[in-house]
Homo-oligomer: A and B are copies of this chain.
Amino acid sequence: MAPAYKLTYFAVKALGEPIRFLLHYGNIEFEDYRFENENWPEIKPHMPFGQTPSIAICRYLAKKVKLAGANDLEDLEIDAIVDTINDLRLKIATYHYETDEGIKESSKKTLLEETIPYYLTRLEAIVKKNNGHLAVGKLTWADVYFVALLDYLDSMMKINLITDSPNLQVLQKNVLNLPGIKEWVAKRPVTKY
């Protein structure tokens, strides 16, 4: 029988990787369909809004693999931190994909000196006081989302974002050791992002 799910994404980790992490964690079979950049123009018109709704898909899969909250209030806490991580991702991506070199340099400075320290200090403090997790004191898809996205964020900034965040480092190690995810990371295709 063919897998029930097919993930259509670029041949990179980026926003596809949290989805892949959740599917592998839940031991859910799926077709990991990767297209090349040059094929994007022919695929894009078939996407409802020219892109993939990655966070909505992650939230859906999180329920399937039991990494959602135990109640509405827990889901609120998880959703808020996931949106926060995504805000940071968007700020970094806006810099990374900027084509004007002057604007890009100035954005880089703001990111390195202000934005990234601001977010990372707060995320580190949350994990420290929260039993080693980003939300509700236990493993949720917020942890998986953050760790799966980290390679992409690091690649765009050309730094290790959590180098001064020991609690986030432990979280990363723990997520990368989860059953399903550990095996996936060991065998996944090597990509730039």
Enumerate chain A interface residues (CB-CB to B < 8 A): 48-51, 53, 55-57, 59-60, 63-64, 72-73, 75-76, 79-80, 83-84, 87, 90, 103, 118-119, 122
Contacting pair B122 A53 (CB below 8 A): no
Complex: chain B residue closest to A60, CB-CB: B76
11 contacts between A and B (CB under 8 A): A48-B122, A50-B118, A55-B83, A56-B76, A56-B79, A59-B76, A60-B72, A60-B75, A60-B79, A63-B72, A90-B90
A69 to B90, CA, bound (A): 27
Contacting pair A87 B49 (CB below 8 A): yes
Contacting pair B50 A79 (CB below 8 A): no
Contacting pair B118 A53 (CB below 8 A): no
The secondary structure that dominates the A interface is helix
A65, chain B: closest CB distance, angstroms: 12
Which residues of the other chain, B, contact A63 by a CB distance below 8 angstroms?
72
A72 to B155, CA, bound (A): 33
* Contact status of A83 and B53, CB under 8 A, knowing A59-B75, A73-B60: yes
A7, chain B: closest CB distance, angstroms: 14
A118 to B56, CA, bound (A): 21
Complex: chain B residue closest to A56, CB-CB: B79
A165, chain B: closest CB distance, angstroms: 15
A59 to B49, CA, bound (A): 21
The list of the 9 closest CB pairs from A to B, nearest first, reads A56-B79, A53-B80, A60-B76, A56-B80, A49-B84, A63-B72, A56-B76, A53-B83, A56-B83
Which residues of the other chain, B, contact A75 by a CB distance below 8 angstroms?
59-60
Contacting pair A72 B64 (CB below 8 A): yes
Complex: chain B residue closest to A118, CB-CB: B50
A56 to B55, CA, bound (A): 12
A168, chain B: closest CB distance, angstroms: 15
